[in-house]
A and B are shown apart, each in its own frame.
Chain A
Amino acid sequence: MQPIRRAGGALDFDLTEEQQLFADTSRRFLADECDLSTIRKLAETDAGFTADWWRRAAGLGWISLLVDEDAGGLGLGDEGILYLGLVAEEMGRMVSPGPLLPCSLVAATLSRSGSDEQRSEALPALVSGEATASWCFAEGGNSWSADSVAMQAERVPVGYRLHGDKWPVEAAAEARHLLVTARCDGQLTQFLVPADTAGVAIEPLEGLDLVRRFARVRFDGVEVDESTVVGAPGGAADDVERQLQIGLAVSCAESAGAVARVFEFTLEWAFERYSFGRPLASYQALKHRFADMKTYLEGCHATASAALHAIAASSADSACLARVAKAFIGDFAPEIVQECVQMHGGIGVTWDHDIHLYLRRVTTNRAILGAPREHRLAIADLLKL
């Protein structure tokens, strides 16, 4: 007997022809250019990815999905996030490197709220993959909510002075631009700051994921002029919430893809591994655990997909559904992968086995953009309990 093919399933069953083609292209690109042995080599590098590879990845349109046509994007409108979810799902399946999410979030906000200058200068380089960018939002610990933003943007004659630390910031060390969320007169304001601006110090952090890097970005009285403001001063709350929602949903899609892949190779292992003359797949004690994993994996797919679709439809409950997905997947993705480690036995806790690459990714995703508990508390507030 053989395990059922692609038993991990996919985020959506009913892709359009365009979406299917796009997903296939992305999958082939990752399989051809960035298999797991390549990722192990990239783990030894500072950036975790190469600039040339990222340019070719961007060449597939990955960073143009949330960008308007007149700004060099594909002009998919809100539907673009469904495509972005497909890329993230494939990246999860391959534990791929590359700053997909930070670049996408910055590109989306520049397209939506950026000045003509920001749209015509910073954005095209992001879309083409020639440059990368990152979003400086959290200020350590569990500060992944707009309310937690404490960094001050003080008004000075030249414009604004930024003071404070942001971390963890994904792929900050390579970024040409940093989108910084701060408070100006108490109101959320975002700035697009060139990473080489005087007073910006980027300190790489060590991290769990083998190829996804984070840094602490210190702003030590950084002076920026009026032209760096993205959107209206004090009026960034909508953009920040949108960045959060997109980030949550896309991160969930990636984790769902990662868990699906782990489940597939663990299921194959259960059919191939024999003890006492019978395959692991024949033991009821283990079969039942696979049944639980499969059931919760379907839940992961369902809720990630629902979050993406809610955002694509500009649905009023997208704020809640993005957080529901993160709360659920944050809990269950690492748990399913740990359970799969257990199914592998001792080999599952060795460096040579690939499963820890996935465990590292989903554990990282669990924390980045907020842990389940924070999202549950946010949901209680959103429900006005």
Chain B
Amino acid sequence: METLEDFRQRSRAWLAGNMRRLPPDAEPWNAMRVDEGDAERAKALQRKLFQAGFAGLCFPKEYGGRGLPRVYQKAFTEESRPYEMPLLFNTPTLTIIAPTILDMGTEAQKRRHLPAMIRGDELWVQFMSEPSGGSDLAGVITSARFDGDNYLLNGSKIWSSYAYFSDYAICLARTDWDAVKHQGLTMFIVKIHQPGVTVNRIRQSDGNVEFCQEFFDDVPLAPEDVIGKVNDGWTVGQRLLFHERSATGGSSPYASGTAGRRIETIDDLVNLARAAGRLDDPRIRELLAEVYVLQTVQGQATDRIVAGIAAEALPATSGAMLRLFTGLNGLRRSDIALEIASSDAVAWDAGESDGATGKSYIFRQAWCLGGGSTEMQRNIISERVLGMPREPAADRGMPFKDVRRNAPGKEA
């Protein structure tokens, strides 16, 4: 195998010769503001990485990856920092869905979809949460009824990012209403753009449009598109949630380029302070350093927990701590940005600002909601890292069709 240092040098040279260097004042990549044009651009860049052998570094070679240890991906990501990267492919396609299919999919599914994701042909989304509830994921009521040939999908999913311009979705649906909650679920592969699927876009509280809601009307799903076993979708869902925690907590080995929302520098906050003429104010300097401290420790905690899980010194569920840490740090960062921007965050000249600081603050709690609420992470940490008793559930051991659901009129 090529040494890490050689690989790093080769990456650096290739990036310099082939990728677009971002201008120093480039807006940080914002997952919240992505459209079809960005999707096309990301596909082209992902293809470019693939052709040069820099895509899917930690995926097995037989499925289009390079089979390298995670330190190679880390090195490539570090080297790629100054360049435009196809960040849109990271989450959920490469960090959540691809590893779930790798873990749980059939050989045919892996051969069909993994190389297509890695070479930039397929963008994926998750059809998991429903309007009827997000945290109680196993309580999904979207149904897939077998008609002898296919499963017919009916119901609705929500909070899927970018569904309107993506290609495929991984979808959790109920296939047995007589079974108890967790045992009547099946995970499917769904082609998004087909008759019977309606995709609506959701406008967020900050005015941006990232998420979608989908409606299904007798959408036929073939038996070969079942991931894992029929009625064992919860097992697949657990793997998916594991990879989601890794991705949102920043510990996924499959992210290429700076994962998710770009928070590893405080440059944007420093620019904000400079623009407000407050960079010499010790109070502001202290706040900037506080963000730096929290982010640095977040990175250190990520390294520690990833290593601890690998060494089996920590349980695999420990990724939930990173998700919690990230969420809480996000809140603090948002508060500090608001403090630095002061009145500029609430009233601004149209020509000089887009009001991003104030708008981000309005959307602040998304830090603690997206990718599983921090309350769910706290349940996981207390119950499955610390071994504390599980929360009582009123639906345990009961056929799902008899489980009480949202009050009439409060379904969504």
A: residues with CB less than 8 A from B are 1-4, 7, 9, 13-14, 267, 270-271, 279, 281-282, 284, 287-288, 290-292, 294-296, 298-299, 301-303, 305-306, 321, 324, 327-328, 373, 375-377, 379-380, 383, 385
Contact = CB atoms under 8 A, between A and B. Distances in A.
Given A327-B293, A376-B286, A377-B285, 17 more contacts: A2-B387, A290-B386, A291-B321, A291-B324, A291-B382, A294-B381, A295-B328, A299-B301, A302-B305, A305-B304, A324-B293, A376-B289, A379-B289, A379-B292, A379-B293, A380-B285, A385-B270
Contacts of A305: 300, 304
Contacts, number: 134
Contacts of A321: 296
B92 to A, nearest CB: 24
Contacts of A271: 388
Interface in B287-318: 288-290, 292-294, 296-298, 300-301, 303-305, 307-308, 311, 313-315, 318
13 contacts: A1-B388, A3-B386, A3-B387, A4-B387, A13-B311, A295-B381, A298-B301, A299-B301, A302-B303, A328-B293, A380-B285, A380-B286, A385-B279
Of A9, A267, A291, A328, chain B has the most CB atoms within 10 Å of the CB of A291
Nearest to A374: B286
Nearest to B327: A295
Contacts of A299: 297-298, 300-301, 325
Contacts of B381: 290-291, 294-295
B62 interface: no
Contact of A295 (B279, B282, B296, B321): B321
A270 B388 CA distance: 9
Nearest to A373: B286
Contacts of A327: 289-290, 293
B301 A302 contact: yes
A343 to B, nearest CB: 12
Contacts of B285: 376-377, 380, 385
B411 interface: no
Contacts of B328: 292, 295
A4 B315 CA distance: 10
Interface residues of B, number: 44
Contacts of B298: 299
Contacts of A295: 321, 324-325, 328, 381
A303 B298 CA distance: 9
A281 B288 contact: no
Contacts of B273: 385
B276 to A, nearest CB: 13
Contacts of B288: 380, 385
B206 interface: no
B319 to A, nearest CB: 11
A288 B378 contact: yes
A294 B321 contact: yes
A305 to B, nearest CB: 7
Given A279-B389, A295-B325, A328-B297, A13 B286 contact: no
A320 to B, nearest CB: 8
B289 A377 contact: yes
